[in-house]
Amino acid sequence: MKSTKERFFEDLAAATDWWIASTCDLLVDPEADDTALSNSESFRRIARALVREGVPRADLEKALAESMRGLAMSFLTILDGGTKLAETARVRLIDDTTKKAIGEGLHEQFMGYLMDSGRVRPTEFLPDGNSSN
């Protein structure tokens, strides 16, 4: 049985995957259904520009994946106490069943989860922090 932390990581990874895919759909097709957007014209302008420039969907997916996963990692870093907030307060995830904190080092463990689940390959990152192509 998966732990609460593993299930949390899977939900976070799945949400990230959904946002990447749905944003790509909106940005590769200027005529995509954008009724749920509050700034649909901005998406349409960007989509038209990407089409004009011939940007492949794969490039867009890679860029969005890096951004969305970066946001998830930043959120987890906040929970880990790695930001200025930790100088005055800590926010923790508590397992409702055990009443215990899920743990420390969540941002590093989440990256490990992404690698273990095949969403991120270790070879995608170079030592200087830049993604490889």
Residue 132, in any domain of the structure: no
Q: Which of 49, 69, 50 is nearest to 58 (CA)?
A: 50
Instruction: Look up the domain containing 80 and give its range.
Output: 4-123
Residue 67, in any domain of the structure: yes
For 70-89, the pLDDT digits (tens) are: 999 999 999 999 999 999 99
**Total-model pTM:** 0.85
Radius of gyration of the chain (CA): 18
Q: Look at the chain and report how many structural domains it folds into.
A: 1
For 87-126, the pLDDT digits (tens) are: 999 999 999 999 999 989 999 999 999 999 999 987 765 4
Place of tokens 């463990």: 109
Residue 131, in any domain of the structure: no
